[in-house]
Structures are given as structure tokens and as C-alpha cells.
Chains A and B, each alone.
Chain A
Amino acid sequence: MSVSTLSPEMTTRMNRFNSTITADEYLADSNVLFYLSDAVTQLLEHKEEYSQFGVTRYFAEYFSSVKNSNHVLFREYNYIRATSHNRASFIRVFWRCFRQIGKSGDLLSMLEYRSLLQLLCPDFPVEIVQSAARIVLMDDAIDCLMSFSDFLYAFQLQFYYQEFLDSVLVIYQDLLAGKSPNTVIVPTSTSIEQLPSVAAEENDKEEHQQDGVEPSTLAQCIDALCDRFKHSHPTRSCMREVLEQTDKVSYYSLLMSLAKHETINQTIGALPSKAELLIDPEMDQELDKLIAQISVSPSSNSSGSAVGGLKEVQKKASPRRNIHHRRKIEVESDGSTEETDSSEN
């Protein structure tokens, strides 16, 4: 439960020794309670396994994994999106796992990215992926192919600032409709409310595709939004910077620029800069090792020429293959006895 488990952003903002805030405020802000609660819930849900594993050990591992950002692996979507730290962790894990796809230069469709995300998080919803894809594709058909890096940065923005973007969308639509954005009710963080807005946006898109809104007006509104916004949002300076670049801005062009903004990327801290996106020598090394293993022992059940330790592990790790293997051996031995019989005769 040390402070170090929390993201640096938070530790800088609040200090234990800064006695101006109460304990409850501190806990609420640092999400410590959330992780504690999840840890205990998990423990209770899987009593059997974890008590065998050791409760102390479990807690230690849980919090060290939170610190190492690998706690989100194979967790449910609601957990992954619960905290900023989790979101950033998930984005990072996604990048690390599928960097090779970017490296190979393959272009993939929205559904494909969704499937990849679902490998890491089985119940990852398609809506987030769709929104991210729309940032990349803008006006193009949603099933166009996207490069890995484009998708990744758009996905980062969409996933990390989900609630903020929804609010911006509402403001943008109101501006388009000529309404006063000050009356806008900021939506709560529930993702379900996002749906109708997306749907509405789609309708609007057809009508107001070309005309955006005045960047200065939008900047003002966003500024006002930031004042009362509880969730995390991109820094104002970045947004202002982006908005100052053009004289007409549409929602998705704004998002596109934000997604490509290096400072925002750094603030989130999950991904390296675009230039270094495909570089991860440590992982490359590991991968080379893995491939080497495969090519050394092709189809791995036919020859036993693999490294001793590795082979042993394989045997242990896959009892199924073992059975298969054994069966084959039996067949072979049967054949051999027949042969010897015939030679004797």
C-alpha cells in the first residue's frame, strides 16, 4: 500500500505529509481503496486457489502487479477502465503485445483490432474500438484498413479520455446546432450514454460534415468544461495549441490532432513517441528466442533434438501432446515387432 504503487501524477499532486487534506480525500483520489477492494473481492471470489497460494503472497503479488502495470492482463473490461492507471496500463500492454503487427506493416480492419483487444480482455466492447477507428478513418467507411500506429494513438486518446471526449462531443454538437454550450449538462461517466450521442453524431455528420465550428468558441467551451470536469482531461495548453492551428475545426479533426499530439502522449505516459513506437529491443530478443525454439524443434513432437531443459518443460507443459506422442511411439513399436517377426520367419 505504499504510495509508489500509484501513478506519479497523483503522488505529485498529493502528499501524505501535506496535512491539508483528510485521509478520505487522499484515499479517494489515489484509488488505493479501489485496488484494495478489488484485491479483497478477487480473494473472496477465488478463495480456494488463493488460500492455497498464500494470502500474503497474493496481496504482495497483486500490488506489485499494479505497480508494474501488468495487473490488467486478462481482466474484465470494467476493471480495466476503472482507473486512469489501469487504462494507461492496458494501452501499454496492448502496444507491447502487438508491436510486431505494426512492425510488419500490416493494415488491419476495425474488427481485427477488436479481436486483438479481446485476446487481452475477453469482454472488450466494440464501441470503443469503433470510436477509435472513426478518429483514424474520419469520413471513410468504418471497415477500412488502418495502420497499427494510427490506430494505437487514436485508441489511446479514445480509451484514456473517454468521458472527456464524450462531453466535448456534446458541446460540439450544441455549437453546430447553434445552442449555447453553457447549458450543457456534462454527462456522467457511464459508457452507455455515449451511445445515443454517437448515433446522433452520425446523423449530424451527414449534414454538417464540411462546416466545423469556430475554434476559438470551442476552445472557450472546452476551457469552461475543464474547470468543472472531474475526470482526467488533456492539458489545456495542448488543446489550445491544437485549436489555434486551424480556423475551422470539426470534432474528429480535433480528435485526430489530439491523438497525434506528442505532449498528450507523454502525459498519459503509456506509449513511447511515434518515432520509437516500433522499437522494443528487449522484446525482439525474446521473440527471436521463441522463434529459434520453434525452428530448432519443428513441430516439436517429432524430434527430441531440442535443448534438454526445453524439452522437459514441453513435456510437462502439454500433456495432450504427450499422449499423442506416446501413441505414435506405440504404433511405431508395433510395426517394428511385426518386422522382426517376419524376419525370423
Chain B
Amino acid sequence: METEQGEGRAMHKHTSGNDKWVFLTPMVNSCKLHLTTVKSLVPERGQRMTDSHDFVKETNTSATQTRNLSNPEKQERKQVSSPISTDSPAHNLVSLAGGAPNGSVSHAAQEARDKTQRLIHSAGATYYRHSLNLSKTAGGSGVYKYNAVPGSSLTRLPSDSFASSFQRIDLDRHSLEECPQLGTMDELQLLNLQNNLITRIQHLSHLNQLVFLNLYDNHISEMTGIEALSSLKILMLGKNRIHNICCLGRLSKLNVLDLHDNQICRIENMSHLSELRVLNLAGNNITRVENLQGLDCLTELNLQQNYISIVTEVDRLPSLQRLFLSCNNITSFNQLACLGESCSLTELTLDGNPVALETWYKQAVLRCVLHLRQLDMKRITDEDRRMAGVQARKEEEKKRESHKQTIHKEKRRLAIRNAAQQWEGVRACLELPPTNGAKEEVSPENSPAHTPAQTNGLAQEPSPDEPRRISPGSGPERPSGGTENRLRTNSRPNSPRDPKLVEAGSGSVQSLSLSDNHLAELDGDTLRLFGLGALEALERGWGVQTAGAVTVITFRYINFDAIIPTLPRIRVKFPNLSHLIFLETNISRLPQLAALAQVRRLDQLTIHPEGNPVVSLALWRSFVIYRLHHLNLQRINGQEVTMNDVIAAERVFGTLGHIAATETPRCRLLLLLEESRKRQLQFLLEGRGRRAGLSPEELRDNGKLLGEGLSRALFNYPSRDCSAESPEEGTVESSERAAMIQQYLQELVQRASDTNLKGEALHKLWPSMFAEMVRDCVLEMRDQAAFRQASLAKLSETK
């Protein structure tokens, strides 16, 4: 059944191919005859295929068979098995001449027989076999034989060339050292000289009828001597010592050219062979596939076992169907790019090339050569194609993904670098302003947040000759980077609250916000922010779970003053935050640290000395412990906070806090404290003292009641929000206000001084006035009786 199927296919194929080849194979015009040929071939081939596996083996087989020719039994059997071919040499010739169709038949048969592996597709091989057949028909005599067979069947053929008688000479294995003189045989069509010792091609120039010339396995080193054979269709020169392809100028009818196993280094001088269908150059020293243009009919090209590393011009072969490139030196698919351009190619072998070892080899080939039906002897199924498609897509995706990743990595690196550069610039700016004046020091204009225009901090580098007096302690310029490792060792929290979360997150770094000069990324429980712009990541909507997973936040290349306004947001958004890390954030003064009191909870605080001058102050740790006492810090810069530390801090700063809490005017406290505490204080003030003037003792008591929390709360660092409210407007308003106040006070003073003057004047006049009043009274009362009467009268009058 299998054979039938294969046969059917072969027939179908052949008939379809027959139309194409008909002009090339004038002898195969009869359909009937042709069919019989095919029929005879198929079983025979099947038999042969079973013991022949590759090209070399095939030649060997043919050689052994040739050697076994003397064995009559075997030959007998052969003849029985293929009666037609033996009986009718015409058929042989037909099959010979129509080598290409036969080839396709053989391949069709192979397609049907998936079991057969690594068959030889070379037409040459087929021809060896036919030549073998020829020798068989010639019989075992092995003598120089002249055999002219006027084929009766051939007379039926319309072709003129075969109407006349043809002749053949078979001189296989005669140890000939020279070409025989064939002077009179002008009509010779077939000449077989294989397996001899011929070194030069001679005495053939007059055989202008010669169609088939077989010089397989000789010692020929040059192709000269064949120039005149203009009728030649098949030329077999395999297994010789030829170095150059030449002398083919007039052989324009050549159908089959076999030059396998020679020493040819270059494909050349062939572009005029427009009828050439099969070219076998296997086993040579060719390094490039080139000069193929013009071979318009070439359907099969065998280049196995060369040193080919570059394949070109294959796309210029419009009829090429089979290309064999096994065992070459093709390393990358780029070298095969032109295969993709060929739309006729259906079979391809590439095994034995370095490129075939690649994992994506098959898929890549299939993707590139769309019409391929067979690759390395294996039929391409739809499944293969589909897989290739899927794989290709997958690969593409993977590639894109990895590309994206590398791009992202690069972007990340760049962002961090730019942030660092910008930071350097900003810092350089920050170090300069003290030269401008005392007040500038704290003014917000100098903070980097107010100079967003400087995107590439380089432009902001100060000129080197600028006097820089105010630099000691504020940190020398250090190359940025390199602290990452140190950071990493510290960044792990002591006790991750949910180990599962940490595990899940540690592998994947999720980038939240990325631009060319900032980066915000989430690595498990660690949120890293590089550059000022990264703070925007805190603004965006966070999932409850994601935000809850964050326990560590790292700031780098961000000015601390710019971070402060975000602290209340951090407090709300990240309830589980337990560790803050500041790298190069320009924390330079103790009051800045007070701003950290705004976070909800903090177990660890890390402030790297790099870019944070505050760490060089001896008191910073004490101050942090004192000020952030309510957070109950466990570790500062990786060092555990002990009870002794707390007490020492209290000893240093306790007085300050106490004085601040107890002696600051109450009204002033109202301004200094944050909202919640302010309300407490107000409550306390309302409840306690409705009366205006509180005695100092009472004030002191109040202070005590407010407690130590208050004393600490007083040291807060103003976030920029409140200090930088529109300076122009503020100054205008304040100057107006100042003028108003001045006027008001002047009036007040005027009145007061007037009153004072009057008082002084009164003071001066008073003694005399008093004396006058006394005198008047005395005078009035001098006459007591009269005074009494007058007084009585006054009384009675009034009543």
C-alpha cells in the first residue's frame, strides 16, 4: 500500500513536472513509455534504497555492484527484477536523459518512505546507477564492445534525434590511461569511460553527436578537450582531479554537470549554461556560492562537503528546488539570508554545518524559507510550521523582552548616573551661596527644588577659580556611586514582618517611575528613589497591599529639604515603614533631622556619611535619639540604640528641651507646634488660665504638664511649604503692614507722650494748686459761725 501511494504521488509529480521538462527530454514524449519507466523504477529504487544511506555509500554501492558484475547470478536476478530496463536499453537511455525527472521521482518516493534516511539526491547518483545498468546490459564480458541498438520502440517517438540510429560505447574499468581513438564513430551518442586512469580528455572533438559522456573516477586534472562537444547534455566528471571549471563555452545544451569530488575552489565560467538543470559540486574546496546568475533552469544544486561559509545569488536561480549544503562551514543564519529570497526552493539540507547546532535552527530556517517542504531529509509537516511559527513568535517576544530589559537596565543606569551628576551640580550650588550673604543660607531659593531647570547638573558646575571659602566640613567632592553595595547590606530590615512577601519581591524589581534623571523602583519591600523627580512616585496611587509591603525607603541624590514635605504622605501611605535610608541627601544640620519626627513609626534610620555632612557632627546621633525618642528607634546607622545612649542624649539635650518647653512664651508655642499639639496646648491654656496674667510659676507648671513630649516637639524643622509662601506677595504685604503698624504706634506714642506731658505739667502745678485750695478752705472756715450758717442754709436749700 505504501508503495502504491508513493507511486501515485510519484506519478502525479512526474506528470506535473513532465510538462516543464518536455523540451529538455525529447525522448520522453510518450506518456505510455514514460509510465512504464516509472513503474519499473519505483520498486527497483525501493530495493536499492534500503542499503544505501548516503552519497559516499551510494557510490561505493555502485562500485561494488560494478565489481560484482562478473557474478552472473546476481546479474541474472537484477535482470529479472527489472526486465524493462534490461530488455530495452532505450528505456535506460530515456531514464538517463530524463535524469532530472527521475530524480524528482526518486524524491517523491522518498517522501512516501519516511524510513529511508539521508538518501542521496544527486542526480549523479541516479546516473551512476543507470550507467551501471548500461554496463549490465553490456553483459559481463567486459570487453571493448561496440553495440548499436536500433530501438524499434524508438521509431515511434516523434523526436528526430532519436529517429536515427544511436550508438554507445562502454569502456568501464579498462585501466585506460588515455582516451581511446574513436575516429569513425561520428554518431556516437553515449560514451562511458568511468573507472579508468585517463589523465587527459583527448580525441573527442569530432563526436559532435555525443549526448552522454561519463568520465567518472579518472585522473583528469583539466577539463580541456570537451570544448567541441556541443550536443553534450550530460557530463560526468566526478572523482577526478579538476581544479578549475572551464571549457564549457559551447556546451550550452548541458543538462547535467557532475563535478563532485574534485579540487575545484571556485564556481565560475558557467553562467551561460541556461539549460543546466543539475549541478553537482559536492566534495570540492569551494568557499563561496557565487556566479550562479544565468542558470535559469537549475533545479538542483549539490554543494555538500565543501568549505562554504557564504551563500549568495541563490535567489537568482528562478527554478532552484533542491539545494544541498550539508557539511559546510556555515556558522550563522545571516550567511543564508538570500535563501529567504528564493521562492522556488522546496528542499534544503544544512546538516553538518555549525549553524545546524543552534537550538533555533529549524525554526529559523522555516521562518526564512517559507516554501520549504523538506529540510535535512525530513518532511516539513504543518505541525512543524506551526511550531516554528509559535517558536518564532516566542523567540521574537523573548528577544523583545530581553531587549526591553536591557534597554530598561540601561535607562536605569543612565537615570541614576544623571541623578548623580545633577546632584553633584546641586551640591556645588549649595556650597556656594554662603558667599552671597548671611540670610541666603536658609532661604529656599538655594534648595535644588527651586532650580528644576537645571536638568543636566553639569551646566551648574562652579567655575574652579571661584573662591570657595565656606567649604570645610560640608564634604569634599567625592565620586558618586560605589556605595550601592554598602547600601544593600544595610537595606535589609532586621525582621521582615512577612517573609513570604519579601521572598516574592526580592527577585523582581518593579520600576515605578523613570526618566532620564530620576528613578523610582520597588524591590520587594524596598522602595528606592533616585533623583528629585522620583519623589513623584510617592504621590501616585498605591495599592493598599503594595504600600503595606514597603518597609524600607531609600533616598538618594535628593535634597533632604525636598523630601521633608513628603514625609507626612509617607506616614499615611506606608503604614509598615520601619527603615529610612538617606544617601547623598545633603542633610547638613541638626535641625533638619527633627523633620523625621513626622513619620509614624521607625525602627531603623540610616544616614550615610556620603553626601550627608551632618554625620560628621559628633552630636548628631544623640540628637536623633533625643528628638525621635517617641519613635523608639532600634538602630541608627546599623548601630543599636541602648539605654545608655538614650540617657546620654537626654543629658546633652534635656536642658535645651526643658528650657524650650518651660520658658518659651505660651503664645510663641502656639506658633511653633504642629496642629495636634497646638490643640492640646490651647485646651490647656483655656482650661487653666482664663485670667490674663499668669504668674511665672503657673507658666512653669503648665510647661511641666505638657511634658517632655512638648520639649522635643519644639524642635521641628520647617518644611519649605510654610517658609516659602510667595515671597513677593509676602514682602509687599509685610511692608504695608509695617507702615501701618508704624503709623499706629506713632499715634499711640504721640498720645502717650502728650498724656505724659500733661501729667508732668500737672505734677509741676499741683503743689501750688493744692496750696491754693487749702488756702481757700481755710479762708472760708475762718469765721466759724458764719460758715456754719452758710452750710446749714445750703443744706436746707437742697432739701
Which residues of A approach B to under 8 Å, CB–CB? 19, 23-24, 27, 33, 36-37, 40-41, 44-46, 49-50, 52-54, 56-58, 60-62, 64-65, 68, 70-71, 73-75, 77, 93, 96-101, 104, 106, 108-112, 114-116, 118-120, 122-123, 125-128, 141-143, 191-192, 195, 199, 202, 283, 286-287, 290-291, 293-295, 298-301, 310, 313-314, 316-321, 323-324
B643 touches A295 (CB 8 A): yes
Q: Mark B519-548, 1 if CB is under 8 A from A, else 0.
A: 000000000000000000000000000000
Q: How far is the CB of B92 from chain A (nearest CB, A)?
A: 96
A73 touches B650 (CB 8 A): no
Known: A104-B652, A109-B473, A122-B442. A74 touches B709 (CB 8 A): no
B654: which of A45, A74, A291 is its contact (CB, 8 Å)? A291
| Chain B hits for A191, CB < 8 A | 438
Known: A33-B749, A100-B651, A127-B438. A320 touches B600 (CB 8 A): yes
Q: List residues 437-494 of chain B with CB under 8 A from any CB of chain A.
A: 437-439, 441-442, 467, 469-470, 472-474
Known: A49-B667, A111-B613, A122-B442. A74 touches B660 (CB 8 A): yes
Q: How far is the CB of A248 from chain B (nearest CB, A)?
A: 27
B708 touches A293 (CB 8 A): yes
| Chain B hits for A108, CB < 8 A | 618-619
Taken together as a complex, chains A and B put the C-alpha atoms of A64 and B682 apart, in Å, by: 20
| Chain A hits for B655, CB < 8 A | 96-100, 283, 286-287
The 9 closest A-B pairs by CB, nearest first: A317-B709, A125-B438, A23-B753, A313-B707, A97-B656, A70-B663, A115-B590, A65-B665, A143-B472
Residue tally, chain B, CB below 8 Å to A:
85
| Chain A hits for B473, CB < 8 A | 109-111, 143
| Chain A hits for B216, CB < 8 A | none
B590: which of A19, A54, A74, A116 is its contact (CB, 8 Å)? A116
Q: How far is the CB of B101 from chain A (nearest CB, A)?
A: 87
A97 touches B659 (CB 8 A): yes
A54 touches B692 (CB 8 A): yes
Interface SS of chain A: helix
Residue in B closest to A130 when the chains form the complex, CB atoms:
B470
Q: How far is the CB of A17 from chain B (nearest CB, A)?
A: 8
Known: A23-B749, A74-B668, A321-B632. 9 other contacts (CB 8 A): A36-B745, A97-B656, A108-B618, A111-B616, A125-B438, A142-B472, A287-B650, A317-B708, A318-B630
Q: How far is the CB of A304 from chain B (nearest CB, A)?
A: 15
Is B666's beta carbon under 8 Å from chain A?
A: yes
| Chain A hits for B435, CB < 8 A | 195
| Chain B hits for A291, CB < 8 A | 647, 650-651, 654
Listed by A's residue number, 5 A-B pairs whose Cβ atoms lie within 8 Å are A23-B753, A111-B474, A126-B470, A192-B437, A320-B600
Is B676's beta carbon under 8 Å from chain A?
A: yes
Is B756's beta carbon under 8 Å from chain A?
A: yes
B742: which of A37, A61, A195, A314 is its contact (CB, 8 Å)? A37
Q: List residues 580-606 of chain B with CB under 8 A from any CB of chain A.
A: 588-591, 600-601
Taken together as a complex, chains A and B put the C-alpha atoms of A329 and B601 apart, in Å, by: 15
| Chain B hits for A300, CB < 8 A | 629, 632
Residue in A closest to B660 when the chains form the complex, CB atoms:
A73
B654 touches A68 (CB 8 A): no
Q: How far is the CB of A65 from chain B (nearest CB, A)?
A: 4
Taken together as a complex, chains A and B put the C-alpha atoms of A298 and B469 apart, in Å, by: 45
B601 touches A58 (CB 8 A): no
| Chain B hits for A127, CB < 8 A | 434, 438
Taken together as a complex, chains A and B put the C-alpha atoms of A61 and B752 apart, in Å, by: 21
| Chain A hits for B472, CB < 8 A | 110-111, 141-143
Q: Mark B676-708, 1 if CB is under 8 A from A, else 0.
A: 111010100100010011101000000001111
